[in-house]
Amino acid sequence: MFEIDPRKSIFYYIDEAIKEYRKYAQKKISVIDPNITLDQLLTLNLIKEDPDSAQKELAQILFKDYASLTRIIELLVKKGYLSRSINQSDRRKFLLKLTAKGYAIVDKLTPIIIENRKIALENISDTDLKSLKTTLKKITDNCNSDL
């Protein structure tokens, strides 16, 4: 059950699936707009859904360190997808807002993301997905309980 060879570990297969999905998704996104990455699009989507999110929260949701998310946001501002201003009620924070260009790219690429996920999950039953989520949550909880 516990192999030393990483190719025989469940974590290898989890990592492989995630990396293959990300490559696949990026390839499909790049056909529509080669100037945006999957991480940038996910960031825009999160800000669109919850414009009051703090950068720290966004970084946690996206599994990015704070510095990486700051770079993503900076690129999105430079590309004109996002505007950033000082939060007047807490000057340590920024207010992040999608620009018209940001809303347009999210609207344009959302159907691609939905289709990507549909294709990636093809032939996987709802029961299998529920079981997988439960198992992955247990792995996460096991790792967090030891901290």
Q: Is the pLDDT of residue 91 over 80?
A: no
Look at 74 and 86; give whichever has higher pLDDT.
74
List the chain domain ranges: 6-112
Distances (CA, A) of 69 to 15, 35, 39: 21, 17, 9
pLDDT mean over 2-16:
86
Specify whether the CB–CB gap between 25 and 111 falls below 8 A.
Answer: no
Question: At residue 89, does pLDDT exceed 80?
Answer: no
Between 69 and 54, the higher pLDDT residue: 69
CATH class of 6-112: mainly alpha
Q: What SS3 string covers the chain?
A: CCCCCHHHCHHHHHHHHHHHHHHHHHHHHHHHCCCCCHHHHHHHHHHHHCCCCCHHHHHHHCCCCHHHHHHHHHHHHHCCCEEEEECCCCCCCEEEEECHHHHHHHHHHHHHHHHHHHHHCCCCCHHHHHHHHHHHHHHHHHHHHCC
pLDDT exceeds 70 at position 92: no
Average pLDDT, the chain: 92
pLDDT at 93 over 80: no
Q: Mean pLDDT throughout 98-116?
A: 96
pLDDT confidence of residue 4: 82
Distance of alpha carbon 116 from alpha carbon 107, whole angstroms: 15
Q: Give pTM, 2 decimals.
A: 0.86
Can you give the pLDDT at residue 1?
A: 61
Is the pLDDT reported for residue 87 higher than 80?
A: no
Q: Indicate whether 62 pLDDT > 70.
A: yes
Please give the average per-residue pLDDT across 2-6, as a whole number.
Answer: 77
